Structure 1
Amino acid sequence: MAQIINLRMARKARTRDAAQQQAQASRARHGRTKSERDAAEAETARLDRVVDGAKRERPEDGSN
């Protein structure tokens, strides 16, 4: 025989699990120290400069 489950309890457990996953993501995103945030922002800015420096310029006259 199949095991009988209470659908209300299963639904609430599924909702709790989803809420815990979202809370964990929020803690990872917002639960950083100021120095960690500044370091991440500096790294992003550095990567942007590297990418911008590697772009090739197109000729002005329109020929390929």
Structure 2
Amino acid sequence: MLQVSIFQTLQNNLRGVDFSLLLVDVMAIAEEVDSQLAQAMTSYVAESKLDMLPVHA
């Protein structure tokens, strides 16, 4: 959702944006969002695997 919002905002402001200055920053933001999503998914999968383990009291 964050990436969609960022790119929608850029699209809505194409006339006032200097992409020669902005492109590197947008790519860095996209990479960070992807990294955080990957970390969240890794944690989710790890937690799901723990939930599937038998409980011994």
Task: Give the structure-1-normalised TM-score.
Answer: 0.46
1:12-51 equivalence runs, <5 A: 12-31=28-47, 34=50, 36-38=51-53
Give the superposed CA RMSD: 2.3
Kindly provide the CA deviation profile for residues 7-52 of structure 1, in whole angstroms up to 9, marking residues without a partner as x: 1111000000011111110000113584x1215xxxxxxxxxxxxx
Flag the structure with more relative contact order, 1 or 2, with Cα contacts below 8 A and sequence separation at least 6: 2
Structure with the greater alpha carbon radius of gyration: 1
- State the partner residue of 2:24: 8
Structure 2 alignment gaps of length 5 or more: 1-14
Q: Which runs of 4+ in 1 moved over 2 A?
A: 31-34
Identity between Structure 1 and Structure 2 (%): 5
List gaps (5 residues or longer) in structure 1.
40-64
